[in-house]
Chain A
Amino acid sequence: MSSSLRFEYQVSGEDFTRAGEASSDIKHKLKQMGVNPTAVRKVAIAMYEGEINMVIHGGGGEILVDILPDKIVMDLIDHGPGIADIDLAMQEGYSTAPDQIRSLGFGAGMGLPNMKKYSDEMDIFSTVGEGTTVHMVVNF
C-alpha cells in the first residue's frame, strides 16, 4: 500500500436501516488490507459513533475517508443544527437524544467521548445553524 485511497459515503438523515454501513464497509476494507486488529477496532468504534451522530443529530451528510500507509483520516460532514457548546457535548453522559431515539438504545451520551478515546486525533468544527464537521485520525 504505497499511495492513499479515498472513499466517500453519503449518510441519510432518516434511514436508520443504513446507519453503520459506512463504518462496516471501512472496517471490512481495513481488515482486507491487513491493518492491525487494534487499529481496525478503534476505527470501527470512532467512525460508527460519528456516523450515528450524523443520522440522529445532524440530519445526514457525507463522510470522506482517506486511507494512507500509516493512518486513516476521516471527515464526517453534516449540515444539521450544529453544536452550540462543544465542551458540554463532549462530556460523558451529556445527550439531547429524544425519547424515541433513546428507545433504540442510543442516548448514553458516550458517542463523542468514545470517538475521542478511540481516535488518535479529533477536532470538531461546528457552527450553529450550519452544521458540524468531525475530523478524526487513527494511526495504524
Chain B
Amino acid sequence: MTVKELMDLHLYELVNEGENTDREISTPYCCDLLSIAMSSAPEGGIWFTVMANLNTLAVAALTETACIVLAHNASLDEGALAKAKSEGITVFRTELPVFDAAVLFYERVKNASV
C-alpha cells in the first residue's frame, strides 16, 4: 500500500500530507523511544508512536520512514508541524492506542494482498 492509498482509506485523521505519497509503505513499526527507533525503524516504514515532538520527525526523516501515525490522539505542536512540512513527512493521528492502530493497518494490508 502506498501512503496515498492509506490517506484515501481514511483509517486515521490526516495531520500533514508530505511529499512522495506514491511511496510504497514497507513495514509497520511501533516504538516510543527515539534512540531505539533511530537504529531500528525500517526504511519506508509506517511508524506508530505516542511521541509527537520535533525529535520524532527528525528521527523519521533520518530513517526515511514513509509516514507516522500518532496514537492516543497525540498531537504535534506548532514547531513539530512546521518540521513535518519542511521535511515533507506525512503524519496521521488516531485516538486508538498504538497496538490497535497498527493492527488496523496490518489487517488492511493483509486482506489487500490475499
Measured between beta carbons, the chain A residues less than 8 angstroms from B96 are none
Are the C-beta atoms of B54 and A108 separated by less than 8 Å? Answer: no
Determine how close the nearest CB of chain A comes to the CB of B43; give it in whole angstroms.
8
Are the C-beta atoms of A44 and B62 separated by less than 8 Å? Answer: yes
Are the C-beta atoms of A23 and B62 separated by less than 8 Å? Answer: yes
Are the C-beta atoms of B62 and A105 separated by less than 8 Å? Answer: no
Are the C-beta atoms of A105 and B58 separated by less than 8 Å? Answer: no
Complex interface residues of chain B between 56 and 80 (CB less than 8 A to chain A)? 56, 58-59, 61-63, 79
B26 within 8 A of A: no
Compute how far the CA of A44 lies from the CA of B33 in the bound complex, rounded to whole angstroms: 17
Are the C-beta atoms of A49 and B61 separated by less than 8 Å? Answer: no
Are the C-beta atoms of B39 and A105 separated by less than 8 Å? Answer: no
Name A's B-contacting residues (CB within 8 A): 16-17, 19-20, 23-24, 27, 41, 44-45, 48-49, 52, 104-111, 114, 117-118
